[in-house]
Structure 1
Amino acid sequence: AAADRRPTQSDQHLTQAIAAIRESFEELGVLLARHAEGPRQGQMADAQDIAAIDRHQPFAAQCAARGLRLAADGVYLLAHWTADRDLARRFEVPFLVARMPEGQEPVADEAEQFEPVWVRPADALARHEAGQFFMIFPTIRTLQRLAQFSSTQAVLDAVAHEQPLWVSCPRAGLLAGKEARYMEDEMPFGELALVCPDGQIVHPLDWQTERPVPLLRNVMRLTAPNPGVMTGPGTNSYLVGDPATGFIAIDPGPADAEHLDKLWRAAGGDIRMIVCTHSHADHSPGAAPLQAMCVQAGKARPPVLGLPSAPTARAASQFTPDRALQNNELLVLEGLAPEGKITHTLQVIHTPGHAANHLCLLLVEDALLFSGDHILNGSTTVIDPPDGNMADYLDSLDRLDAVCAEHSVEFILPAHGYVLGGPVLGARNAIAKLRAHRLAREAKVLAAMQALPQGSMDDWVRHAYDDVPQRMWPVAQRSLLAHVERIRSLQPGNN
């Protein structure tokens, strides 16, 4: 069919637009076409044109006979969906948008479409939540995003650059025993990509503290029962290793006897090392009692490793390891299995910022980064001076990015929240987004300082954190102070 196209519209997008116009007419009687010549040149097809075209006869020829050209230049690519990996038959589907021609009314063909209705995205979602409007996952997520736009024109302006607003191949896990699907920018996606790369729907996403969660054959996570505003679902304790090598326990968490007993049992009582990413009270107090538990069971005394707390640490964050870990030091577990020698190697990376004695760990064989509190899933960590330092924090982010680039790290295992990974929240993307977020916040802090040069921290936090709930401002003030210190250190004369 003859069709109008935008200069920037690719052949593929033109083909998709033409197909969409044809399907819209055949299934709903909506015709995106305009008169090519004569007194009605440039006018959109009207009810008379639609009545003259038989939906069941060749479409292009009928349009040409009435002097109509398809308005493909008004059809834009909104999104691109690929069906989830667990489905037996999968499709790649472009989602397209166009402005509905004035004066036309959709009439369903009663074969592929039924009961067409105009409804705002927010209203459709509300009806779905009430069980009155069945929709599949891509439709729900599409409407959620469309609901954020104020008008049709705002949507069309957003897609005018010829690129989809999002591309997604969702993943599914189990939540309360039921399938739950997630897009790439949603928190559980990375964990599902790590644990079920081929899309099996077997991984439970419920946060619980009773059982260890296997993430890989040699990595388990047990979440401590300390959920809260600052800890999210709780502190993630990790076990790295296997029965042939024994285990390294990372961040045993608070001194909770039941949690430590579960951690010890998950390791089969064979814990070779205990590593604390930093000295905060939700990470390191469990190290000494876990060590004692191993000794009491007749096992060798596993060393408690990490970095000692700095003089700037608060009283509740004092920590003295049996041995201080060196930057780039390798912690190695070795064992024999039927297939031969097994090793699990953790590389130590000093990452001050959240705390002066913070470190991260790279599992070399599997290219996994244990990020402690430096990188979290779903929130940004608090930088609390004097032990916290924003300049150090940003420098450490750069150091982690270099490590991820060198070792092709795709997944980050944080101390709070699900595994980070995937095309949107993969390791280097997550680090880049986090750095950009910190610098954007710092720009707001600087603007507040410039607008209110005699202002107090209370004044500045109201401006710089106006997008954060007021109840969180006392916590935000800690990071604000860290930004203020960095801003002042960068001013001329302070180098």
Structure 2
Amino acid sequence: MAATIPAISKLSTRIIRILGCNPGPMTLQGTNTYLIGTGKNRILIDTGDKDVNEYQQNLAKVVQSEQINIEHIVVTHWHHDHIGGVENIYGTIASKHPKVWKHKKHETDAPDNDVPESIPMCWLMDGQEIKVEGATVKVHHTPGHTTDHIVLTLLDENILFSGDCILGEGTAVFEDLYTYMISLQKILDLKPNSIYPGHGNIVEDPIPKIEYYIEHRKQREEQILEALRTNPDKQMTEMDLVRIIYTETPEHLWSAAAYNVNHHLIKLTKENIIKNVNINGENRWQYGSSFNCNL
């Protein structure tokens, strides 16, 4: 069982974690938000869900007791449990109107309007640094979970704030496996000393954790490829592959398994390892170089 995360934790002289008080199946014990710095002005990483009074009260308590100001709000990605609280914090708990930072979504996504128009947004760039007294964080664009997802390294301690790319327990979901795998390798190359995730407890030994995330996806991919290789003349749906691979998974979970298999199939198609065949409006896959045909 995972260790209980307190509502407020002073993790070091420059990091205070405030739990988002929004527990659930996808958020675990809740969204972790972090105040960074040692001086009067601080950086807040993520803001929890909108209108969670307990979280707002806890954040306000820290701001008052530490006698600090939130100068920057950095949002790791657009999901409501990370960006929702901006509206509550801006101009109230962060009374001096902080800069609100986020990476732009991909042009094919829904518009970047997750924050009210009355709150100006500042757009993050890969490699950008944000500084306050006692802390410098560097931005790394890590799409996959979402197209706008970023992680941050605290350069002063080589700590990685991983958002939803890597969790304190379990594995993460993703929108695009191809870019997610590239992002995991990018994080591995950063060689952080520890990971402070968006959900779950601190990862004190991060390299094996990152490698596990990569290997877990590679193993599933190899199972999919093996099923296609051993049936070279068949054009298979996601559910066909689920029936072959997920033999120990209860049938009521097969639809969720098919969702994950679909992400792997799209990635393998992008890499020109398998081919996508559209038969009467239904997508099927077959081992071999990619093409798309309508039959």
TM-score calculated relative to the size of structure 2: 0.80
Seq. identity, %: 29
- Give the unaligned 5+ runs of structure 1: 1-186, 189-204, 335-342
* Larger proportion of helix: 1
Q: Relative to 1, partners in 2 of residues 1:281 and 1:461: Cα closer, same or farther, differing over 3 Å?
A: farther
- Over aligned residue pairs, what C-alpha RMSD do you find? 2.6
AA at the equivalent of 2:259: R
AA at the equivalent of 2:41: G
Tell me, yes or no, if the aligned pair for 1:360 and 1:369 is still in contact at 8 Å. Answer: yes
AA at the equivalent of 1:454: Q
Summarize the alignment of residues 79-478 of structure 1 with structure 2, pairs less than 5 Å apart: 205-208=3-6, 211-242=7-38, 244-258=39-53, 259-268=55-64, 270-294=69-93, 299-313=95-109, 319=114, 322-334=121-133, 343-383=134-174, 388-404=175-191, 409-421=192-204, 426-450=205-229, 453-468=234-249, 470-478=251-259
1:218-251 residue CA offsets vs partner (Å, 9 max, x unmatched): 2122222222222212211111123x23221111
TM-superposed CA distance for 1:372, in Å, is: 0.5
Tell me, yes or no, if the aligned pair for 1:288 and 1:304 is still in contact at 8 Å. Answer: no
AA at the equivalent of 1:445: I
1:324-344 residue CA offsets vs partner (Å, 9 max, x unmatched): 11111111002xxxxxxxx20
For the residue of structure 2 that corresponds to 1:443, the secondary structure is: helix
Report which of the two structures shows the higher radius of gyration computed on alpha carbons. Answer: 1
TM-superposed CA distance for 1:265, in Å, is: 2.5
- The equivalent residue for 1:487 is 268
1:153-191 residue CA offsets vs partner (Å, 9 max, x unmatched): xxxxxxxxxxxxxxxxxxxxxxxxxxxxxxxxxx86xxx
1:259-304 residue CA offsets vs partner (Å, 9 max, x unmatched): 1232233233621111111111221111222113246xxx310111
Tell me, yes or no, if the aligned pair for 1:382 and 1:476 is still in contact at 8 Å. Answer: no
1:458-484 residue CA offsets vs partner (Å, 9 max, x unmatched): 332344444555554444433322111
Question: How many residues are paired up?
Answer: 266
- The equivalent residue for 2:286 is none
Q: Relative to 1, partners in 2 of residues 1:327 and 1:481: Cα closer, same or farther, differing over 3 Å?
A: same
Q: Relative to 1, partners in 2 of residues 1:310 and 1:260: Cα closer, same or farther, differing over 3 Å?
A: farther
For 2:259 and 2:108, how far apart are their aligned partners in 1?
14
Higher relative contact order (CA 8 A, sep 6+): 2
Q: Relative to 1, partners in 2 of residues 1:467 and 1:392: Cα closer, same or farther, differing over 3 Å?
A: farther
Tell me, yes or no, if the aligned pair for 2:8 and 2:17 is still in contact at 8 Å. Answer: yes
TM-superposed CA distance for 1:354, in Å, is: 0.8
